[in-house]
């Protein structure tokens, strides 16, 4: 596969995975009164999104093994890896702030506990996944440079 077309291939896969849920959400959202969305509806969205994320991660790993690139420019790869690491770090910080905000609002009684628990679990799942990837990237960078601290 030509690396130039890889982002388009990934977007097509993302759309194909999300289209069934979008149809489900649009159809059922028409059935509810305004601001009266049941909790199973939002929980379904969280599970669907998480499952799609995991499927995409597995597909990315599989396509890397199937379509090994030829020659890789080390400098460009390093710049890309550094940008990805910074973005992941920012996402973890943002999700951590959102999680703490949700905890505070739940303790104040502004967010019902039956909505807060699934949302908190969802955020903790992604905080854990991205934190683990940041840890692995930094650990690999340290061993690559030979630094022990």
Task: For residues 41 and 28, give the distance between their C-alpha atoms in angstroms, rounded to a whole number.
Answer: 9
Task: For residues 123 and 119, give the distance between their C-alpha atoms in angstroms, rounded to a whole number.
Answer: 6
Task: For residues 4 and 67, give the distance between their C-alpha atoms in angstroms, rounded to a whole number.
Answer: 13
Residue extents of the structural domains in the chain:
1-70, 74-149
Task: For residues 53 and 55, give the distance between their C-alpha atoms in angstroms, rounded to a whole number.
Answer: 5
pLDDT tens-digit series, residues 15-70: 787 788 778 777 777 777 776 767 777 777 777 777 777 777 787 777 776 666 66
State residue 47's pLDDT score.
78
Task: For residues 85 and 75, give the distance between their C-alpha atoms in angstroms, rounded to a whole number.
Answer: 15
User: Considering the entire predicted model, what is its pTM?
Assistant: 0.59
Contact 138, 85 (CB under 8 A): yes
């Amino acid at each position: 596969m030509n690396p130039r077309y890889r982002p388009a291939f990934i977007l097509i896969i993302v759309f194909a995975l999300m289209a069934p849920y979008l149809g489900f959400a649009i159809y059922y959202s028409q059935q509810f009164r305004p601001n009266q969305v049941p909790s199973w509806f939002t929980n379904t969205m969280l599970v669907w999104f998480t499952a799609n994320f995991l499927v995409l991660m597995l597909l990315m790993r599989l396509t890397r093994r199937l379509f090994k690139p030829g020659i890789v420019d080390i400098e460009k790869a390093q710049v890309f890896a550094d940008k990805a690491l910074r973005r992941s770090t920012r996402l973890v910080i943002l999700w951590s702030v959102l999680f703490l905000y949700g905890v505070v609002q739940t303790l104040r009684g502004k967010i019902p506990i039956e909505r807060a628990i699934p949302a908190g679990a969802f955020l903790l799942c992604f905080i854990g996944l991205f934190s683990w990837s940041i840890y692995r990237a930094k650990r690999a960078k340290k061993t690559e440079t030979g630094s022990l601290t």
